[in-house]
Structure 1
Amino acid sequence: MSSRSIEMPSAATEEDLHELMNRLRRLGRPFALATVVRTISVTAAKAGAKAVIEADGSIAGGWIGGGCARGAALRAASQCLEDGQTRLISIQPEDLLKDLGVTPGEEKNGIRFARNMCPSQGTMDIFIEPVLPRPKLVILGSSPVAVALADLAPRIGFDCAACAPADEQPAFARVGERIEGYALPVEAPAQRYLVVSTQGKGDLIALKAALAVDAAHVAFVGSRRKAESLKARLAEEGMSTERLARIKAPAGLDLGAITPEEIALSILAELLQLRRKGQRGDLPGSPA
Protein backbone atom coordinates (compact mmCIF):
# COMPACT_ATOMS: atom_id res chain seq x y z
CA MET A 1 0.00 0.00 0.00
CA SER A 2 1.33 3.39 -0.94
CA SER A 3 1.96 6.15 1.57
CA ARG A 4 -0.99 8.03 0.06
CA SER A 5 -3.48 5.28 0.83
CA ILE A 6 -6.08 5.69 3.53
CA GLU A 7 -5.68 2.84 6.00
CA MET A 8 -8.75 0.61 6.34
CA PRO A 9 -9.18 -2.82 7.92
CA SER A 10 -9.54 -5.67 5.43
CA ALA A 11 -12.79 -6.73 7.10
CA ALA A 12 -14.33 -3.29 6.63
CA THR A 13 -18.07 -3.00 7.12
CA GLU A 14 -20.39 -1.47 4.54
CA GLU A 15 -20.49 1.67 6.67
CA ASP A 16 -16.66 1.78 6.79
CA LEU A 17 -16.47 1.58 3.01
CA HIS A 18 -19.06 4.33 2.51
CA GLU A 19 -17.08 6.59 4.86
CA LEU A 20 -13.86 5.76 3.02
CA MET A 21 -15.43 6.53 -0.36
CA ASN A 22 -16.83 9.81 0.92
CA ARG A 23 -13.38 10.82 2.18
CA LEU A 24 -11.77 9.99 -1.15
CA ARG A 25 -14.44 12.02 -2.97
CA ARG A 26 -13.84 14.99 -0.71
CA LEU A 27 -10.10 14.74 -1.40
CA GLY A 28 -10.75 14.57 -5.14
CA ARG A 29 -8.97 11.22 -5.42
CA PRO A 30 -10.18 8.79 -8.12
CA PHE A 31 -10.91 5.21 -7.13
CA ALA A 32 -12.71 2.11 -8.35
CA LEU A 33 -15.27 0.07 -6.43
CA ALA A 34 -15.00 -3.67 -7.02
CA THR A 35 -18.00 -5.81 -6.07
CA VAL A 36 -18.18 -9.61 -6.20
CA VAL A 37 -21.49 -10.32 -7.94
CA ARG A 38 -21.33 -14.10 -8.32
CA THR A 39 -19.30 -17.06 -7.09
CA ILE A 40 -19.42 -20.73 -8.05
CA SER A 41 -17.80 -23.54 -6.07
CA VAL A 42 -15.16 -22.68 -3.46
CA THR A 43 -13.95 -19.05 -3.40
CA ALA A 44 -12.39 -16.99 -0.63
CA ALA A 45 -14.83 -14.10 -1.04
CA LYS A 46 -18.55 -14.45 -1.58
CA ALA A 47 -21.13 -12.42 -3.52
CA GLY A 48 -21.50 -8.96 -2.05
CA ALA A 49 -17.86 -8.58 -1.00
CA LYS A 50 -16.45 -5.18 -1.94
CA ALA A 51 -13.10 -3.42 -2.16
CA VAL A 52 -12.05 0.17 -2.87
CA ILE A 53 -9.08 0.34 -5.24
CA GLU A 54 -7.06 3.54 -5.61
CA ALA A 55 -5.42 4.84 -8.78
CA ASP A 56 -1.98 3.62 -7.64
CA GLY A 57 -3.27 0.02 -7.53
CA SER A 58 -3.55 -0.24 -3.75
CA ILE A 59 -6.64 -1.62 -2.04
CA ALA A 60 -7.64 1.14 0.36
CA GLY A 61 -10.36 -0.84 2.09
CA GLY A 62 -12.53 -3.93 1.86
CA TRP A 63 -11.69 -7.37 0.52
CA ILE A 64 -12.53 -9.39 -2.59
CA GLY A 65 -10.34 -12.43 -1.96
CA GLY A 66 -6.69 -13.34 -2.20
CA GLY A 67 -4.17 -13.34 -5.01
CA CYS A 68 -6.40 -15.43 -7.29
CA ALA A 69 -8.76 -12.52 -7.80
CA ARG A 70 -6.62 -9.57 -6.81
CA GLY A 71 -4.39 -9.32 -9.90
CA ALA A 72 -7.25 -9.44 -12.41
CA ALA A 73 -9.30 -6.98 -10.36
CA LEU A 74 -6.44 -4.51 -10.05
CA ARG A 75 -5.73 -4.61 -13.79
CA ALA A 76 -9.39 -4.04 -14.58
CA ALA A 77 -9.60 -1.21 -12.03
CA SER A 78 -6.61 0.51 -13.65
CA GLN A 79 -8.32 0.33 -17.05
CA CYS A 80 -11.59 1.65 -15.56
CA LEU A 81 -9.84 4.69 -14.14
CA GLU A 82 -8.10 5.37 -17.46
CA ASP A 83 -11.20 5.39 -19.66
CA GLY A 84 -14.02 5.96 -17.16
CA GLN A 85 -15.84 2.78 -18.22
CA THR A 86 -17.13 -0.05 -16.01
CA ARG A 87 -15.81 -3.61 -16.29
CA LEU A 88 -17.24 -7.06 -15.57
CA ILE A 89 -14.56 -9.69 -15.14
CA SER A 90 -15.07 -13.43 -14.75
CA ILE A 91 -12.24 -15.36 -13.09
CA GLN A 92 -12.53 -19.07 -13.92
CA PRO A 93 -10.41 -22.25 -14.00
CA GLU A 94 -8.64 -22.85 -17.29
CA ASP A 95 -10.74 -25.88 -18.23
CA LEU A 96 -13.97 -23.89 -17.88
CA LEU A 97 -12.53 -21.11 -20.04
CA LYS A 98 -11.76 -23.72 -22.70
CA ASP A 99 -15.32 -25.03 -22.49
CA LEU A 100 -16.54 -21.48 -23.14
CA GLY A 101 -14.15 -21.10 -26.05
CA VAL A 102 -12.36 -18.10 -24.58
CA THR A 103 -8.78 -17.38 -23.57
CA PRO A 104 -7.56 -15.42 -20.52
CA GLY A 105 -7.73 -11.69 -21.24
CA GLU A 106 -10.38 -12.10 -23.95
CA GLU A 107 -13.61 -10.09 -23.81
CA LYS A 108 -16.88 -11.56 -24.97
CA ASN A 109 -20.40 -10.15 -24.64
CA GLY A 110 -19.13 -7.45 -22.32
CA ILE A 111 -17.33 -9.87 -19.97
CA ARG A 112 -13.54 -9.90 -19.58
CA PHE A 113 -12.25 -13.41 -18.73
CA ALA A 114 -9.30 -14.23 -16.49
CA ARG A 115 -7.76 -17.50 -15.35
CA ASN A 116 -8.05 -18.71 -11.75
CA MET A 117 -4.71 -20.27 -10.82
CA CYS A 118 -5.69 -21.09 -7.23
CA PRO A 119 -6.17 -24.70 -6.02
CA SER A 120 -9.82 -23.96 -5.12
CA GLN A 121 -10.62 -23.66 -8.83
CA GLY A 122 -13.77 -21.67 -8.14
CA THR A 123 -15.39 -19.03 -10.34
CA MET A 124 -15.79 -15.41 -9.30
CA ASP A 125 -17.44 -12.59 -11.24
CA ILE A 126 -16.48 -9.06 -10.20
CA PHE A 127 -18.10 -5.80 -11.31
CA ILE A 128 -15.76 -2.80 -11.23
CA GLU A 129 -16.94 0.79 -11.51
CA PRO A 130 -14.77 3.91 -11.59
CA VAL A 131 -15.54 6.85 -9.30
CA LEU A 132 -13.85 9.91 -10.75
CA PRO A 133 -13.70 13.43 -9.30
CA ARG A 134 -16.25 15.81 -10.77
CA PRO A 135 -14.56 18.28 -13.09
CA LYS A 136 -14.37 21.82 -11.74
CA LEU A 137 -15.43 24.94 -13.59
CA VAL A 138 -13.65 28.00 -12.22
CA ILE A 139 -15.47 31.18 -13.22
CA LEU A 140 -13.38 34.34 -13.05
CA GLY A 141 -15.59 37.42 -12.94
CA SER A 142 -19.20 38.15 -12.01
CA SER A 143 -20.73 39.20 -15.32
CA PRO A 144 -24.24 38.00 -16.27
CA VAL A 145 -22.61 35.21 -18.32
CA ALA A 146 -20.56 34.19 -15.28
CA VAL A 147 -23.69 34.03 -13.12
CA ALA A 148 -25.51 31.97 -15.77
CA LEU A 149 -22.55 29.57 -15.94
CA ALA A 150 -22.63 29.06 -12.17
CA ASP A 151 -26.34 28.25 -12.41
CA LEU A 152 -26.18 25.83 -15.34
CA ALA A 153 -22.85 24.02 -14.90
CA PRO A 154 -23.73 21.87 -11.84
CA ARG A 155 -26.65 20.41 -13.77
CA ILE A 156 -24.26 18.72 -16.22
CA GLY A 157 -21.75 17.44 -13.71
CA PHE A 158 -19.42 20.34 -12.97
CA ASP A 159 -18.49 21.62 -9.54
CA CYS A 160 -18.23 25.41 -9.62
CA ALA A 161 -15.93 27.95 -8.04
CA ALA A 162 -16.70 31.67 -8.25
CA CYS A 163 -13.52 33.70 -8.42
CA ALA A 164 -14.23 37.43 -8.01
CA PRO A 165 -13.59 40.39 -5.69
CA ALA A 166 -15.49 40.33 -2.39
CA ASP A 167 -17.92 43.04 -3.42
CA GLU A 168 -18.90 41.04 -6.52
CA GLN A 169 -19.46 37.71 -4.76
CA PRO A 170 -23.13 38.44 -3.89
CA ALA A 171 -23.89 38.15 -7.62
CA PHE A 172 -23.64 34.38 -7.14
CA ALA A 173 -26.64 33.15 -5.19
CA ARG A 174 -25.31 29.61 -4.80
CA VAL A 175 -21.93 28.19 -5.72
CA GLY A 176 -19.80 25.33 -4.39
CA GLU A 177 -16.66 27.35 -3.71
CA ARG A 178 -15.87 31.05 -3.46
CA ILE A 179 -12.44 32.58 -4.05
CA GLU A 180 -12.09 36.26 -3.24
CA GLY A 181 -9.99 38.03 -5.85
CA TYR A 182 -8.27 36.11 -8.62
CA ALA A 183 -5.57 34.13 -6.77
CA LEU A 184 -6.21 30.55 -7.92
CA PRO A 185 -4.72 27.52 -6.10
CA VAL A 186 -1.75 26.17 -8.05
CA GLU A 187 -2.88 22.56 -7.64
CA ALA A 188 -6.36 21.12 -8.03
CA PRO A 189 -7.51 17.56 -7.19
CA ALA A 190 -9.83 17.37 -10.20
CA GLN A 191 -9.69 18.39 -13.85
CA ARG A 192 -10.11 22.15 -14.01
CA TYR A 193 -11.72 24.33 -16.68
CA LEU A 194 -11.30 28.11 -16.44
CA VAL A 195 -13.62 30.71 -17.95
CA VAL A 196 -12.76 34.42 -17.68
CA SER A 197 -15.97 36.41 -17.83
CA THR A 198 -15.02 39.75 -16.27
CA GLN A 199 -16.70 41.95 -18.90
CA GLY A 200 -14.17 44.75 -18.66
CA LYS A 201 -13.71 44.65 -14.88
CA GLY A 202 -10.28 43.19 -14.22
CA ASP A 203 -9.84 41.41 -17.55
CA LEU A 204 -6.05 41.54 -17.52
CA ILE A 205 -5.54 40.41 -13.93
CA ALA A 206 -8.06 37.60 -14.34
CA LEU A 207 -6.39 36.35 -17.52
CA LYS A 208 -2.99 36.44 -15.80
CA ALA A 209 -4.37 34.36 -12.95
CA ALA A 210 -5.97 31.85 -15.32
CA LEU A 211 -2.76 31.38 -17.31
CA ALA A 212 -0.63 31.00 -14.18
CA VAL A 213 -2.09 27.57 -13.29
CA ASP A 214 -2.56 24.27 -15.07
CA ALA A 215 -6.00 23.70 -16.55
CA ALA A 216 -7.68 21.54 -19.17
CA HIS A 217 -9.07 24.64 -20.88
CA VAL A 218 -8.88 28.44 -20.57
CA ALA A 219 -11.60 30.48 -22.24
CA PHE A 220 -12.26 34.21 -22.47
CA VAL A 221 -15.79 35.61 -22.81
CA GLY A 222 -15.39 38.50 -25.21
CA SER A 223 -14.64 39.26 -28.82
CA ARG A 224 -11.63 37.89 -30.63
CA ARG A 225 -10.43 41.45 -31.16
CA LYS A 226 -10.56 42.26 -27.46
CA ALA A 227 -8.80 39.00 -26.60
CA GLU A 228 -6.00 39.76 -29.06
CA SER A 229 -5.55 43.22 -27.50
CA LEU A 230 -5.26 41.70 -24.02
CA LYS A 231 -2.85 39.02 -25.26
CA ALA A 232 -0.65 41.74 -26.81
CA ARG A 233 -0.50 43.53 -23.45
CA LEU A 234 0.39 40.31 -21.65
CA ALA A 235 3.10 39.60 -24.25
CA GLU A 236 4.56 43.05 -23.60
CA GLU A 237 4.76 42.11 -19.93
CA GLY A 238 6.79 39.03 -20.82
CA MET A 239 4.23 36.23 -21.01
CA SER A 240 5.31 33.49 -23.41
CA THR A 241 3.65 32.82 -26.75
CA GLU A 242 3.00 29.21 -25.71
CA ARG A 243 1.11 30.26 -22.60
CA LEU A 244 -0.91 32.90 -24.45
CA ALA A 245 -1.88 30.33 -27.05
CA ARG A 246 -3.89 28.50 -24.39
CA ILE A 247 -6.58 31.18 -24.43
CA LYS A 248 -9.70 30.18 -26.38
CA ALA A 249 -11.56 33.30 -27.49
CA PRO A 250 -14.37 33.82 -28.00
CA ALA A 251 -15.41 31.21 -25.44
CA GLY A 252 -17.90 28.54 -26.46
CA LEU A 253 -19.22 26.93 -29.62
CA ASP A 254 -20.66 29.15 -32.34
CA LEU A 255 -24.37 28.58 -31.70
CA GLY A 256 -25.46 32.10 -32.57
CA ALA A 257 -25.93 32.81 -28.85
CA ILE A 258 -27.03 36.31 -27.79
CA THR A 259 -28.36 36.31 -24.22
CA PRO A 260 -26.12 35.56 -21.19
CA GLU A 261 -27.90 32.23 -20.70
CA GLU A 262 -27.40 31.29 -24.35
CA ILE A 263 -23.71 32.25 -24.22
CA ALA A 264 -23.29 30.20 -21.03
CA LEU A 265 -24.94 27.26 -22.77
CA SER A 266 -22.55 27.56 -25.74
CA ILE A 267 -19.58 27.58 -23.35
CA LEU A 268 -20.83 24.53 -21.47
CA ALA A 269 -21.44 22.73 -24.77
CA GLU A 270 -17.80 23.31 -25.67
CA LEU A 271 -16.60 22.12 -22.25
CA LEU A 272 -18.77 19.01 -22.51
CA GLN A 273 -17.34 18.30 -25.96
CA LEU A 274 -13.81 18.57 -24.57
CA ARG A 275 -14.59 16.54 -21.47
CA ARG A 276 -16.21 13.65 -23.35
CA LYS A 277 -13.72 13.50 -26.19
CA GLY A 278 -12.68 9.90 -26.72
CA GLN A 279 -15.22 8.49 -24.22
CA ARG A 280 -18.09 7.67 -26.58
CA GLY A 281 -16.40 4.92 -28.56
CA ASP A 282 -18.19 3.94 -31.76
CA LEU A 283 -21.71 4.81 -30.68
CA PRO A 284 -24.14 5.31 -33.55
CA GLY A 285 -24.16 8.92 -34.61
CA SER A 286 -20.80 9.71 -33.01
CA PRO A 287 -18.74 12.19 -35.02
CA ALA A 288 -15.81 10.66 -36.87
Structure 2
Amino acid sequence: MNDTFIEDHISKLRASGAPFAIATVVRTVNATSAKPGDKAIVLEDGAITEGWIGGGCVRSAVKKASLIAMKEGAAQFISLKPEGLLKAEGVAPGDERDGIRFARNGCPSKGSMDIFIEPVIPQAELVICGRSPVALSLADLAGGFNFSRTLCAPELRAADAPVVENLQGSYEFTASSGGAQFVVVATQGQGDEPAMRAALSSGASYIAFVGSRQKFETIRQRLIDAGISQELLDNVKSPAGLDIGAITPDEIALSILSEVVAHRRSHQRIRAKS
Protein backbone atom coordinates (compact mmCIF):
# COMPACT_ATOMS: atom_id res chain seq x y z
CA MET A 1 0.00 0.00 0.00
CA ASN A 2 1.14 3.49 -0.77
CA ASP A 3 3.04 4.98 2.20
CA THR A 4 1.52 8.39 1.52
CA PHE A 5 -1.97 6.92 1.89
CA ILE A 6 -1.06 5.40 5.26
CA GLU A 7 0.51 8.65 6.45
CA ASP A 8 -2.63 10.54 5.45
CA HIS A 9 -4.72 8.08 7.45
CA ILE A 10 -2.40 8.46 10.45
CA SER A 11 -2.78 12.26 10.24
CA LYS A 12 -6.59 11.92 10.26
CA LEU A 13 -6.49 9.61 13.28
CA ARG A 14 -4.20 12.01 15.15
CA ALA A 15 -6.60 14.85 14.42
CA SER A 16 -9.57 12.80 15.67
CA GLY A 17 -7.98 12.35 19.08
CA ALA A 18 -8.54 8.58 19.06
CA PRO A 19 -5.75 6.29 20.28
CA PHE A 20 -4.25 3.87 17.77
CA ALA A 21 -1.06 1.94 17.10
CA ILE A 22 1.32 1.61 14.17
CA ALA A 23 2.71 -1.89 13.56
CA THR A 24 5.89 -2.04 11.47
CA VAL A 25 7.66 -5.16 10.23
CA VAL A 26 11.37 -4.74 11.01
CA ARG A 27 12.79 -8.19 10.21
CA THR A 28 11.75 -11.38 8.42
CA VAL A 29 13.44 -14.77 8.08
CA ASN A 30 12.53 -17.30 5.38
CA ALA A 31 9.29 -17.00 3.46
CA THR A 32 6.76 -14.52 4.85
CA SER A 33 4.08 -12.58 3.03
CA ALA A 34 5.10 -9.34 4.74
CA LYS A 35 8.50 -7.76 4.26
CA PRO A 36 10.61 -5.33 6.31
CA GLY A 37 9.11 -1.86 6.17
CA ASP A 38 5.53 -3.06 5.74
CA LYS A 39 3.19 -1.45 8.23
CA ALA A 40 -0.43 -1.34 9.29
CA ILE A 41 -2.64 0.72 11.58
CA VAL A 42 -4.36 -0.89 14.56
CA LEU A 43 -7.41 0.91 15.96
CA GLU A 44 -8.49 1.24 19.58
CA ASP A 45 -10.74 -1.84 19.35
CA GLY A 46 -7.94 -3.97 17.90
CA ALA A 47 -9.14 -3.81 14.30
CA ILE A 48 -6.24 -3.84 11.84
CA THR A 49 -6.79 -1.40 9.02
CA GLU A 50 -4.86 0.38 6.29
CA GLY A 51 -1.69 -1.49 5.46
CA TRP A 52 -0.29 -5.00 5.56
CA ILE A 53 1.76 -6.92 8.14
CA GLY A 54 0.79 -10.48 7.23
CA GLY A 55 -2.16 -12.86 7.18
CA GLY A 56 -4.45 -14.22 9.87
CA CYS A 57 -1.70 -16.23 11.53
CA VAL A 58 0.11 -12.99 12.35
CA ARG A 59 -2.75 -10.58 12.95
CA SER A 60 -3.92 -12.12 16.24
CA ALA A 61 -0.52 -11.57 17.89
CA VAL A 62 -0.28 -8.05 16.46
CA LYS A 63 -3.77 -7.19 17.73
CA LYS A 64 -2.98 -8.45 21.23
CA ALA A 65 0.33 -6.60 21.44
CA SER A 66 -1.23 -3.42 20.04
CA LEU A 67 -3.97 -3.42 22.66
CA ILE A 68 -1.32 -3.80 25.37
CA ALA A 69 0.70 -0.96 23.83
CA MET A 70 -2.30 1.37 23.80
CA LYS A 71 -3.38 0.48 27.33
CA GLU A 72 0.10 0.83 28.82
CA GLY A 73 1.20 3.71 26.64
CA ALA A 74 4.44 1.88 25.84
CA ALA A 75 5.85 0.44 22.62
CA GLN A 76 5.90 -3.33 22.13
CA PHE A 77 8.31 -5.52 20.20
CA ILE A 78 7.02 -8.95 19.20
CA SER A 79 8.91 -11.82 17.64
CA LEU A 80 6.81 -14.40 15.81
CA LYS A 81 8.46 -17.77 15.23
CA PRO A 82 7.33 -21.31 14.44
CA GLU A 83 6.56 -23.33 17.57
CA GLY A 84 9.54 -25.61 17.06
CA LEU A 85 11.92 -22.66 16.91
CA LEU A 86 10.43 -21.14 20.05
CA LYS A 87 11.00 -24.43 21.91
CA ALA A 88 14.55 -24.60 20.64
CA GLU A 89 15.19 -21.13 22.07
CA GLY A 90 13.61 -22.06 25.38
CA VAL A 91 10.65 -19.69 25.18
CA ALA A 92 6.89 -20.17 24.93
CA PRO A 93 4.23 -18.00 23.27
CA GLY A 94 3.50 -15.06 25.56
CA ASP A 95 6.92 -15.07 27.21
CA GLU A 96 8.84 -11.81 27.38
CA ARG A 97 12.60 -11.55 27.46
CA ASP A 98 14.74 -8.41 27.24
CA GLY A 99 11.78 -6.36 26.07
CA ILE A 100 10.81 -8.85 23.35
CA ARG A 101 7.40 -10.55 23.54
CA PHE A 102 7.33 -13.93 21.78
CA ALA A 103 4.41 -15.33 19.81
CA ARG A 104 3.81 -18.41 17.72
CA ASN A 105 3.69 -18.02 13.97
CA GLY A 106 1.31 -20.70 12.72
CA CYS A 107 1.62 -19.75 9.06
CA PRO A 108 2.36 -22.62 6.65
CA SER A 109 5.48 -20.76 5.50
CA LYS A 110 7.13 -21.43 8.90
CA GLY A 111 8.87 -18.10 8.61
CA SER A 112 9.84 -15.73 11.40
CA MET A 113 9.24 -12.03 11.72
CA ASP A 114 9.81 -9.21 14.20
CA ILE A 115 7.28 -6.40 14.51
CA PHE A 116 7.60 -3.08 16.32
CA ILE A 117 4.35 -1.60 17.62
CA GLU A 118 4.18 2.08 18.49
CA PRO A 119 1.13 3.40 20.36
CA VAL A 120 -0.15 6.85 19.48
CA ILE A 121 -1.99 8.17 22.52
CA PRO A 122 -3.69 11.58 22.59
CA GLN A 123 -1.90 13.95 24.91
CA ALA A 124 -3.67 14.45 28.23
CA GLU A 125 -5.12 17.93 28.71
CA LEU A 126 -4.85 19.94 31.89
CA VAL A 127 -7.44 22.71 32.06
CA ILE A 128 -6.77 25.37 34.69
CA CYS A 129 -9.49 27.89 35.47
CA GLY A 130 -8.42 31.13 37.10
CA ARG A 131 -5.71 33.76 37.22
CA SER A 132 -4.78 33.27 40.87
CA PRO A 133 -1.14 32.73 41.88
CA VAL A 134 -1.87 28.99 42.27
CA ALA A 135 -3.42 28.80 38.79
CA LEU A 136 -0.48 30.56 37.14
CA SER A 137 2.09 28.50 39.04
CA LEU A 138 0.31 25.24 38.13
CA ALA A 139 0.13 26.20 34.44
CA ASP A 140 3.85 26.92 34.43
CA LEU A 141 4.89 23.87 36.45
CA ALA A 142 2.85 21.43 34.34
CA GLY A 143 4.84 22.35 31.23
CA GLY A 144 7.41 19.62 31.84
CA PHE A 145 4.92 16.79 32.40
CA ASN A 146 3.52 16.03 28.94
CA PHE A 147 0.21 17.85 29.29
CA SER A 148 -1.53 20.06 26.78
CA ARG A 149 -2.32 23.05 29.01
CA THR A 150 -5.40 25.20 28.64
CA LEU A 151 -5.51 28.25 30.90
CA CYS A 152 -8.96 29.82 31.19
CA ALA A 153 -8.28 33.20 32.74
CA PRO A 154 -10.69 36.09 32.11
CA GLU A 155 -9.09 39.52 32.35
CA LEU A 156 -5.56 38.11 32.39
CA ARG A 157 -3.24 39.96 30.04
CA ALA A 158 -1.34 37.68 27.69
CA ALA A 159 1.89 39.37 28.77
CA ASP A 160 1.25 38.23 32.36
CA ALA A 161 0.37 34.64 31.49
CA PRO A 162 2.77 31.71 31.52
CA VAL A 163 3.46 30.08 28.17
CA VAL A 164 0.72 27.48 27.61
CA GLU A 165 -0.69 25.67 24.61
CA ASN A 166 -4.09 27.38 24.88
CA LEU A 167 -4.93 30.67 26.60
CA GLN A 168 -8.60 31.60 26.81
CA GLY A 169 -10.33 34.69 28.07
CA SER A 170 -13.36 32.85 29.44
CA TYR A 171 -14.20 29.72 31.39
CA GLU A 172 -15.58 28.01 28.30
CA PHE A 173 -13.46 25.16 27.01
CA THR A 174 -13.96 22.13 24.80
CA ALA A 175 -14.41 18.66 26.23
CA SER A 176 -11.64 16.25 25.29
CA SER A 177 -12.12 14.39 22.00
CA GLY A 178 -10.07 11.39 23.02
CA GLY A 179 -7.34 11.95 25.56
CA ALA A 180 -7.75 12.22 29.31
CA GLN A 181 -8.81 15.61 30.60
CA PHE A 182 -8.12 17.03 34.05
CA VAL A 183 -9.71 20.26 35.27
CA VAL A 184 -8.53 22.37 38.19
CA VAL A 185 -10.67 25.29 39.33
CA ALA A 186 -8.27 27.74 40.96
CA THR A 187 -10.38 30.88 40.63
CA GLN A 188 -10.18 31.65 44.35
CA GLY A 189 -13.14 33.98 44.51
CA GLN A 190 -13.00 35.28 40.93
CA GLY A 191 -15.71 33.40 39.04
CA ASP A 192 -15.89 30.25 41.14
CA GLU A 193 -19.38 29.21 40.09
CA PRO A 194 -19.07 29.81 36.31
CA ALA A 195 -15.78 27.92 36.32
CA MET A 196 -17.30 25.02 38.28
CA ARG A 197 -20.24 24.86 35.88
CA ALA A 198 -17.85 24.62 32.93
CA ALA A 199 -15.77 21.96 34.68
CA LEU A 200 -18.80 19.84 35.60
CA SER A 201 -20.15 19.94 32.04
CA SER A 202 -16.83 18.83 30.53
CA GLY A 203 -17.02 15.15 31.50
CA ALA A 204 -13.39 15.33 32.66
CA SER A 205 -12.03 12.31 34.52
CA TYR A 206 -10.70 14.56 37.31
CA ILE A 207 -12.09 17.84 38.63
CA ALA A 208 -10.57 19.62 41.60
CA PHE A 209 -11.35 22.83 43.46
CA VAL A 210 -8.67 24.96 45.08
CA GLY A 211 -10.04 26.25 48.36
CA SER A 212 -11.22 25.19 51.80
CA ARG A 213 -13.82 22.49 52.36
CA GLN A 214 -16.16 25.10 53.84
CA LYS A 215 -15.86 27.34 50.79
CA PHE A 216 -16.50 24.48 48.40
CA GLU A 217 -19.52 23.34 50.43
CA THR A 218 -21.05 26.81 50.06
CA ILE A 219 -20.50 26.78 46.28
CA ARG A 220 -21.68 23.19 46.07
CA GLN A 221 -24.98 24.00 47.73
CA ARG A 222 -25.56 26.99 45.46
CA LEU A 223 -25.02 24.81 42.41
CA ILE A 224 -27.34 22.10 43.74
CA ASP A 225 -29.99 24.75 44.37
CA ALA A 226 -29.50 25.89 40.77
CA GLY A 227 -30.18 22.37 39.48
CA ILE A 228 -26.69 20.89 39.17
CA SER A 229 -26.56 17.15 39.87
CA GLN A 230 -25.37 16.31 43.38
CA GLU A 231 -23.72 13.19 41.96
CA LEU A 232 -21.51 15.31 39.70
CA LEU A 233 -20.49 17.52 42.59
CA ASP A 234 -19.68 14.51 44.77
CA ASN A 235 -16.90 13.62 42.31
CA VAL A 236 -15.10 16.95 42.72
CA LYS A 237 -11.85 16.70 44.69
CA SER A 238 -11.78 19.42 47.31
CA PRO A 239 -9.48 20.65 48.57
CA ALA A 240 -7.31 19.97 45.53
CA GLY A 241 -3.93 18.32 45.82
CA LEU A 242 -2.08 15.78 47.90
CA ASP A 243 -1.53 16.57 51.55
CA ILE A 244 2.13 17.61 51.61
CA GLY A 245 1.70 20.49 54.03
CA ALA A 246 1.75 22.99 51.18
CA ILE A 247 1.50 26.68 52.09
CA THR A 248 2.86 28.84 49.26
CA PRO A 249 1.19 29.03 45.82
CA ASP A 250 4.09 27.10 44.28
CA GLU A 251 3.82 24.37 46.91
CA ILE A 252 0.05 24.12 46.44
CA ALA A 253 0.57 23.90 42.67
CA LEU A 254 3.08 21.10 43.22
CA SER A 255 0.63 19.19 45.42
CA ILE A 256 -2.11 19.51 42.77
CA LEU A 257 0.14 18.47 39.91
CA SER A 258 1.31 15.46 41.93
CA GLU A 259 -2.28 14.40 42.45
CA VAL A 260 -3.11 14.84 38.76
CA VAL A 261 -0.10 12.75 37.71
CA ALA A 262 -1.01 10.05 40.25
CA HIS A 263 -4.57 10.00 38.92
CA ARG A 264 -3.38 9.76 35.31
CA ARG A 265 -0.96 6.91 36.04
CA SER A 266 -3.41 4.95 38.19
CA HIS A 267 -5.95 4.99 35.37
CA GLN A 268 -3.30 3.77 32.93
CA ARG A 269 -2.53 0.84 35.26
CA ILE A 270 -6.23 0.02 35.59
CA ARG A 271 -6.63 0.05 31.80
CA ALA A 272 -3.57 -2.15 31.40
CA LYS A 273 -5.05 -4.80 33.73
CA SER A 274 -8.53 -4.75 32.17
- d(CA) in 2 for partners of 1:52 and 1:214? 28
Matched, 1:202 2:191: yes
Task: Give deviations 1:60-86, integer Å, cap 9, x for gaps.
Answer: 544323333222112210121122233
Unpaired runs of at least 5, structure 2: none
Report the AA paired with residue 257 of structure 1. Answer: A
**For 1:112-170, what per-residue CA distance to the aligned partner results, in whole angstroms no more than 9, with x for missing partners?**
322222222100111212221111001111212111222121211110112233x3352
The amino acid across from 2:256 in the alignment is I
Equivalent residue, structure 2, for 1:268: 257
Task: Give, in whole Å, the separation in 1 of the partners of 2:179 and 2:269.
Answer: 21
1:12 matched to which residue of 2? 3
Deviation at 1:279, TM superposition (A): 5.2
With 123-132 and 231-240 compared, the bigger mean Cα shift is at: 231-240
Q: Say which SS state the counterpart of residue 13 (structure 2) adopts.
A: helix
Among 54, 71, 92, which residue is 2:60 paired with? Answer: 71
Q: Does residue 89 of structure 1 match 2:89?
A: no
- Partner Cα distance (2:251, 2:268) in 1: 26
Match of 1:172 in 2: 161
Partner amino acid for 1:12? D
- Alignment-derived partner of residue 33 in structure 1: 22
Is the 8 Å Cα contact of residues 31 and 110 (structure 2) preserved in structure 1? yes
User: Do the aligned residues in 2 keep the contact of 1:50 with 1:62 (CA within 8 Å)?
Assistant: yes
Q: 1:186-201 alignment to 2 at 5 Å?
A: 186-201=175-190
Gaps (5+ residues) in structure 1? 1-9, 282-288
Question: Counterpart in 2 of 1:4?
Answer: none
| Per-residue deviation, 1:236 | 2.1
Question: Does 2:124 match 1:135?
Answer: yes
The residue that corresponds to 1:155 in the other structure is: 144
Instruction: State the 1:103 CA deviation.
Output: 3.6
Mapped partners of 2:173, 2:131: distance in 1: 16
Q: Specify the code of the residue in structure 1 equivalent to 2:126.
A: L
1:173 shift after superposition: 4.2
Instruction: Identify the residue that residue 6 of structure 1 maps to in structure 2.
Output: none
Cα gap change, 1:25 to 1:99, in 2 (>3 Å): same
Indicate the SS of the match to 1:258.
Answer: coil
- Aligned partners of 2:88, 2:94: CA distance in 1, in Å? 15
Q: Which residue of 1 aligns with 2:105?
A: 116
Deviation at 1:208, TM superposition (A): 1.6
| Deviations, residues 235-269 of structure 1 (Å, cap 9, x unaligned) | 22232321111111111112222322222111111
TM-score (norm 1): 0.83
* Equivalent AA in structure 2 for residue 227 of structure 1: F
- Larger mean CA deviation between 147-156 and 43-52 belongs to 43-52
Contact residue 12 and residue 61 of structure 1 kept, 8 A = no
Amino acid at match of 2:235: R
TM-score normalised to the size of structure 2?
0.87
Q: Which residue identity lines up with residue 206 of structure 2 in the other structure?
A: H
Identity of aligned residues (%): 49
Task: Give yes or no for the alignment of 1:43 onto 2:36.
Answer: no
Letter in 2 for 1:215: A
Name which of 117, 126, 131 aligns with 2:115. Answer: 126
- Assess if the C-alpha contact under 8 Å between 2:71 and 2:268 holds in 1: no
Structure 1 stretches of at least 4 aligned residues deviating more than 6 Å after TM superposition: none
